[in-house]
Amino acid sequence: MNSFDGNPIYEKLREKVFFYVTYQRRTASEVKRTFLPAFKKYNIPEEILEDLVEELKEKGHIDDKDFVKKKFKAYVSFNNLLSVKEITNKMLQKGVSKDLIDEYIEQNRGQLYEHEVKAAKKLYEKKIAEKSDEEVKRYLLRKGYNEDIVDSL
């Protein structure tokens, strides 16, 4: 409980935050980045938002570790042609800790390697019709694919 409980503006913001995290999985960083301007606008201290995020974590509505796991699984299972590096960058943009991402990658190295091999092959086959072998390989390297995988194509 905080000094803003019962404040209609705070309650409305609290409701919006709750809807935001239940509508779609979000990271703690995303919630803070999205709602901090509104909290500042109404002179509600940042600590109140921090407390709200902690409460949502305790209730299981925000779980960055679970977010990483589900996002990686979604990218891999939907036959996405993203390299692990590209997936990592997308998650970093969402505010996920690099340590959590690295931990997941380490625990699932084999599965992620297989994904990269399949994705690189598909991209290679798709691009080879319009570009030379060397150009396609440079493209794949720029996209973050492992050099060993690209060399084997």
pLDDT at 79: 66
pLDDT in tens, 11-27: 999 999 999 999 988 99
Across the range 108-115, mean pLDDT stands at 91
SS3 state of residue 78? coil
Task: Please answer whether residues 146 and 85 qualify as being in contact, where contact means their C-beta atoms are separated by less than 8 angstroms.
Answer: no
CA 20 to chain centroid, in Å, comes to: 16
41 pLDDT higher than 90: yes
